Amino acid sequence: MKALTYHAAKDIRFETIPDAKVTAPHAALVRVKACGICGSDLHIYQGHGFSDDVGFCVGHEAVGEIVEVGAHVESLKVGDRVMISASVGCGLCAPCRAGDVVRCDRNAGGCYGLSHALPGCQAEAVMVPHADHNAALIPEGLTYDQALMLTDNLPTAYLGAKNADIRPGGTVAVVGLGPIGLMAVEIAYALGASRVYAADLVPERRAMAEKLGAIALDPGDEKALLKEHTRGALAGSVIEAVGADATLKLALQLAGKQATVSTIGVNQTKQFPFPMALAFNKGLTFRTSLCSVMVHWPDLVPMVRSGRLKPEAMISHRMPLADGAHAYAMFNDRRDGALKMVLEC
Ligand SMILES: [Zn+2]
Ligand SMILES: [Zn+2]
């Protein structure tokens, strides 16, 4: 089958790899209809991936159609349209059964497309382990585009917002306005924020946040502007959606007294110098977590179905899987208004 594979920094290839197969009775094979490129895929693209493997199939966001099921799969059948959760669990332990796969008791929690261990879904087909738990029928009334956003980005944005303790009437700051940060702006308002401030270096991304009702903060002056707007109070909730040292630092600066800072980006340097004195003096709560995607579906599906959240609006480009390398380069360089890149099979 055709797939996108990682070989070295900035070297993603569209090539033929062995066909994905149902390898266990609980697994299912999904023919991929569309897959997304995630901000965390860019870590791999830039050569700071999650393993030393090369030649593995990348990608962890996909929707498609079941083409084969193992003997023990009960809830899905051939022909079903499914969304595949980016986070994967054993499907058997208590946390996994409740959908909270990042707390998997058997440490089977994982993600597609980070190494050879669980091949990715930027491919014509993908094997879903414990398919009853790790994939779900696309809910009635949702499009493939909306379902694709539910496989990772929207739940991650929602987790980031929930972890930020947003209160009705609260002031929220969002740092980093990729698709996840922009959706966090929308979610913050849905959760009752009175004002959402938004920071990013890219002018088009700040403009997009303004369209969602946010007040954009100009680069370099973020803290001063926020201070002025809030009469010194700064933000009660801060969502950081990048994970870089500079954006983490900014997020902590934008936090007011007794604020909560929530980060959902992957920190690449792995040695962020946490400003303990600043956190202590402000009385901050700092939260970070991987996202158990499916645990958020019951909250999010109705909000998407009703149009309260419009995650599909983040899709900026759509191209064939064969053009995947080009899509990665565009997204990496934030070229041509690149936000959510969708690859179609
Ligand atoms: Zn992702
Ligand atoms: Zn488990």
CATH number at residue 320: 3.90.180.10
The pLDDT value given to residue 170: 98
At 212, is the secondary structure helix, strand, or coil? coil
Is the Cβ–Cβ distance between 230 and 259 less than 8 Å?
A: no
Q: What is the pLDDT of residue 88?
A: 95
Q: Examine the domain organization and report whether 245 and 272 are in the same domain.
A: yes
Q: Which two tokens stand for residue 131?
A: 């398919």
CA of 75 to the centre of ligand 1 (A): 25
Residue 268 pLDDT: 78
Same domain for 312 and 253: no
State the DSSP string of 15-26. EE-PPP---STT
143 lies in the same domain as 208: no
Burial class (CB in 10 A: 0-12, 13-18, 19+), 33: middle
Please report which helix (H) or strand (E) contains residue 32, including its range: strand 28-37
Pairing of strands 171-175, 235-240: parallel
Report the CATH number at residue 216: 3.40.50.720
Mean pLDDT of 194-221: 97
Q: What ligand has the least distance to the C-alpha of 101?
A: 2
Write down the residue that tokens 């499916």 correspond to. 294
Q: What is the pLDDT of residue 271?
A: 87
Same domain, 108 and 170: no
Residues 16-69: pLDDT tens digits?
Answer: 999 999 999 999 999 999 999 999 999 999 999 999 999 999 999 999 999 999
Domain that holds residue 136: 2-152+292-344
Q: What distance in angstroms lies between residue 37's CA and the mean position of ligand 2's atoms?
A: 26
CB contact set of 227 (below 8 Å; sequence gap of 6+): 234
Average pLDDT, the chain: 96
| Cβ-contact 198, 223 below 8 angstroms | no
Q: Do 205 and 318 reside in the same domain of the chain?
A: no
Which ligand ends up closest to the CA of 108?
2
- The answer to whether residues 203 and 328 belong to one domain is no
- What is the number of the ligand closest to the CA of 84? 1
Quick one: pLDDT at residue 254?
A: 98
How far is the C-alpha of 237 from the C-alpha of 50, rounded, in Å?
29
Residues 269 and 330 in one domain: no
Ligand nearest 40 Cα, by number?
1
How many Cβ atoms sit within 10 Å of the Cβ of residue 185?
Answer: 28
Number of domains observed in the structure of the chain: 2
Pairwise CA distance, residues 138 & 128, whole Å? 15
Distance CA 180, CA 200 (A): 12
When pLDDT is cut at 50, 70 and 90, the band that residue 202 belongs to is: very high
Determine the 3-state secondary structure of 303 from DSSP: helix
Query: Ligand 1 centre from 71 Cα, in Å?
Result: 30
Asked if residue 265 has pLDDT above 90, the reply is: no
Q: What pLDDT sits at residue 270?
A: 80
- Indicate if 191 and 318 belong to the same structural domain: no
Verify that 309 and 273 share a domain, yes or no: no
pLDDT one-digit tens code per residue, 60-116: 999 999 999 999 999 999 999 999 999 999 989 999 999 999 999 987 778 999 999
User: What distance in angstroms lies between residue 77's CA and the mean position of ligand 1's atoms?
Assistant: 26
Among 265, 288, 311, give the residue marking a domain's end. 288
The answer to whether residues 121 and 12 belong to one domain is yes
Do 23 and 70 fall within a single domain?
yes
Q: Identify which ligand lies nearest to the alpha carbon of 106.
A: 2
CA dist., res. 263 & res. 176, Å (int) = 10
Ligand with the closest atom to the CA of 97: 2
* HSE toward the beta carbon, residue 117, CA cutoff 13 A: 12
Distance between Cα 95 and ligand 2 center (Å): 6
Query: Which of 288, 305, 322 delimits the end of a domain?
Result: 288
Scan for tokens 């109705």, then name that residue. Answer: 302
Q: State pTM to two decimals.
A: 0.96
Look at the block and give the residue holding tokens 């809910």: 139
Ligand nearest to the CA of 50: 1
Q: How far is ligand 1, taken at its centre, from the CA of residue 274, in Å?
A: 25
Ligand 2 center from residue 59 Cα (angstroms): 22
At residue 23, the pLDDT reads: 92
